């Protein structure tokens, strides 16, 4: 059995000496995912991160482990660390090293590529989402070996295109199938937590349908005084199209095919989480007296995790306010992000959205719709008794509180892929994206004390893998 005090001490020292410094170097590199940096190969940021991470892994890999690097053709790279075990079983640990773009709104003194260690928090893009994963995974295995604890074979798999929907991962899963084998347990460190006081396990993830919609009404801009009232506004046409998807007053997705029946056990999980947090769900930086879409915390949780929701995440064809002349613009283009329920097939969502956005064009406007790589969501299988017990023991040992289960509104394409490929595998989906950590947005940070405890918890869980 693991000695929790020794494990805690080893993990803390390893984080301070080896992980925090490498994360500072990692944050400095603008390794944006290919969707946000089409010239990623030429720009070389990914190569820099690959070398940074692989050199570190070679230096700190657990004894007897092998570091594999794959980069086939023009695909993003993959790092795989094979840690042989001395017990039956196969564990797969997952993370990624690509990043979201900069985003505006960083506080003074902070920036996406300027790491700042402020007390217990390390600010900068990509550290929490989830650059720490490879380094923490290696620390986990090293801590087990430090106590001479027998463990199954562990594969640490780190990809470089997760933020683009993991388009290269299916190829690598087939290409590396002989190395990966058949996982009995999957540990993913790319999820979140609702507080920093206990261990959290994600039980479901929404899928994601991203698309770009463009409405053209003219071949060039014209004087609004002469054209408005006769020439339809491209923005108004676009607004009509969006109203085919959602109720603009409530945000409810009105397409029946994009909604599902929520499993009763997930509703019960939401209720237990709300009871345990007792009013701590309000975790967003609200502006002024802004209200949420509902005051019911259970309904709010389900809207975040099991119900579809639409966001406009980018726009072209609209000049900045200071440059806005009296011109009726020729086109408006928006990038949409549709979160879909965990159990909804991505192809159904794409088909339904495409039909609704393109049929019967208002005023016969020219409409083009281009979809990104879609991602189906994921709903976890029931936990085996040993894993449920191991999770609770770890949370009580390192947080002095029981573990809680949560649905997550974000997407990890790899989980749906693994769930389909290995239906009998067990899953521990967790991470350090807690309140205000703000992945994808400004002021992203790692809560280092929580990251240390989570790393120690994973070691504790793995050592209880059944014989």
Rounded to the nearest angstrom, the gap between the alpha carbon of residue 242 and the centroid of all alpha carbons in its chain is 25
**How many Cα atoms are found within 13 Å in the side-chain-facing hemisphere of 252?**
8
For residue 382, what pLDDT is reported?
A: 92
For residue 236, what pLDDT is reported?
A: 97
DSSP result, 293-318: S-S-HHHHHHHHHTS-EEEEEEEES-
Check: CB of residue 141 under 8 Å from CB of residue 83: yes
In whole angstroms, give the CA distance from residue 96 to residue 342.
21
Longest CA–CA span in the chain (Å) reads: 81
N residues, the chain: 467
* Measured CA angle at 187 (ends 160, 297), to 5 deg: 95
Check: CB of residue 33 under 8 Å from CB of residue 126: no
In whole angstroms, give the CA distance from residue 438 to residue 436.
5
For residue 281, what pLDDT is reported?
A: 62
Angle of helix 132-146 versus helix 4-14 axis, rounded to 10: 140
| Residue spans of beta strands (DSSP E) within 240-388 | 309-316, 327-328, 331-340, 366-371, 378-379
Check: CB of residue 258 under 8 Å from CB of residue 354: no
Cβ atoms < 10 Å from Cβ of 231 = 15
In whole angstroms, give the CA distance from residue 456 to residue 397.
10
Q: Is 417 helix (H, G, I), strand (E, B) or coil?
A: helix
Q: Specify the CATH number for 207-268+302-371; select among 3.40.50.2300, 3.30.70.360, 3.30.990.10, 3.40.710.10.
A: 3.30.70.360
CATH superfamily of 4-205+377-462: Zn peptidases (3.40.630.10)
Burial of 227 (0-12, 13-18, 19+ CB in 10 A): middle
Residue recorded with tokens 């879609």: 374
Per domain, the residue ranges of the chain are: 4-205+377-462, 207-268+302-371
The tokens for 286 are: 């609200």
Check: CB of residue 315 under 8 Å from CB of residue 332: yes
Cβ atoms < 10 Å from Cβ of 339 = 26
How many helices (H) and strands (E) the chain has is answered by 15, 18
The tokens for 75 are: 């695909």
Residue 67 β-bridge partners: 81
User: How much is the pTM?
Assistant: 0.88
User: Parallel, antiparallel, or unpaired: how do β-strands 207-216 and 185-188 relate?
Assistant: unpaired
In whole angstroms, give the CA distance from residue 149 to residue 156.
18
**For 130, which DSSP code?**
I
- What's phi and psi for 20, nearest 5 deg? -55, -45
Cβ atoms < 10 Å from Cβ of 424 = 8
First and final C-alpha spacing in the chain: 13
In whole angstroms, give the CA distance from residue 110 to residue 287.
20
pLDDT by position in tens, the chain (length 467):
999 999 999 999 999 999 999 999 999 999 999 999 999 999 999 999 999 999 999 999 999 999 999 998 899 999 999 999 999 999 999 999 999 999 999 999 999 999 999 999 999 999 999 999 999 999 999 999 999 999 999 999 999 999 998 999 999 999 999 999 999 999 999 999 999 999 999 999 999 999 999 999 999 999 999 999 999 999 999 999 999 999 999 999 999 999 999 999 999 999 999 998 886 666 788 899 999 999 899 999 999 999 999 999 999 999 999 999 999 999 999 999 999 999 999 999 999 999 999 999 999 999 999 999 899 999 999 999 999 999 999 999 999 999 999 999 999 988 888 888 899 999 999 999 999 999 999 999 999 999 999 999 999 999 999 97
For residue 277, what pLDDT is reported?
A: 87
In whole angstroms, give the CA distance from residue 247 to residue 237.
16
Burial of 446 (0-12, 13-18, 19+ CB in 10 A): buried
Q: Which of 145, 156, 152 is nearest to 179 (CA)?
A: 156
- Which strands form 445-447's sheet, in the order they lie side by side? 116-118, 121-123, 445-447
The tokens for 79 are: 């790092």
């Amino acid at each position: 059995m693991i000695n929790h005090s020794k494990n805690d001490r080893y993990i803390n020292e390893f984080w301070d000496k080896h992980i925090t410094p490498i994360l500072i170097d990692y944050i400095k590199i603008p390794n944006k995912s290919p969707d946000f940096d089409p010239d990623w190969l030429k720009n070389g940021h990914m190569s820099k991160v690959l070398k940074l991470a692989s050199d570190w892994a070679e230096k700190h890999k657990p004894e007897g482990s092998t570091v594999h690097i794959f980069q086939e053709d023009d695909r993003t790279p993959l790092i795989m660390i094979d840690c042989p075990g001395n017990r039956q079983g196969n564990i797969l640990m997952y993370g990624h090293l690509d990043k979201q773009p900069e985003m505006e709104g960083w506080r003074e003194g902070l920036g996406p590529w300027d790491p700042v260690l402020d007390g217990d928090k390390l600010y900068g893009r990509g550290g929490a989402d989830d650059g720490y994963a490879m380094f923490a995974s290696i620390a986990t295995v090293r801590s087990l070996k430090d106590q001479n604890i027998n463990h199954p074979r562990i594969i640490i798999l780190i990809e470089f295109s997760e933020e683009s929907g993991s388009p290269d991962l299916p190829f690598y899963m087939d290409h590396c199938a002989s190395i990966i084998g058949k996982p009995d347990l999957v540990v993913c460190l790319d999820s979140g937590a609702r507080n920093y006081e206990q261990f959290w396990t994600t039980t479901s993830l929404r899928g994601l349908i991203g698309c770009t919609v463009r409405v053209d009404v003219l071949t060039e801009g014209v004087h609004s005084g002469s054209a408005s009232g006769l020439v339809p506004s491209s923005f108004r046409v676009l607004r009509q199209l969006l109203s085919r998807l959602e109720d603009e007053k409530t945000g409810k997705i009105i397409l029946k095919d994009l909604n599902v029946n929520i499993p009763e056990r997930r509703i019960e999980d939401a209720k237990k989480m709300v009871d345990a947090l007792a009013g701590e769900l309000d975790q967003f930086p609200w502006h002024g007296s802004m209200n949420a879409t509902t005051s019911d915390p259970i309904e709010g949780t389900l809207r975040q995790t099991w119900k579809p929701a639409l966001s406009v995440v980018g726009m072209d064809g609209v000049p900045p306010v200071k440059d806005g002349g009296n011109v009726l613009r020729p086109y408006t283009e928006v990038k949409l992000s549709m979160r879909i329920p965990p159990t909804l097939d991505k192809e159904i969502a794409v088909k339904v959205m495409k039909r609704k956005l393109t049929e019967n064009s208002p005023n016969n406007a020219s409409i083009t719709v281009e979809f990104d790589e879609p991602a189906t969501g994921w709903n976890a299988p029931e936990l085996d008794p040993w894993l449920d017990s191991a999770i609770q023991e770890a949370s009580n040992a390192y947080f002095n509180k029981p573990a809680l289960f949560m649905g997550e509104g974000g997407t990890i394409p790899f989980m749906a892929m693994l769930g389909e490929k290995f239906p009998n595998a067990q899953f521990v989906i967790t991470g350090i994206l807690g309140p205000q950590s703000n992945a994808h947005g400004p002021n992203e940070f790692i809560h280092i004390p929580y990251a240390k405890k989570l790393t120690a918890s994973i070691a504790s869980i793995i050592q209880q893998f059944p014989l």
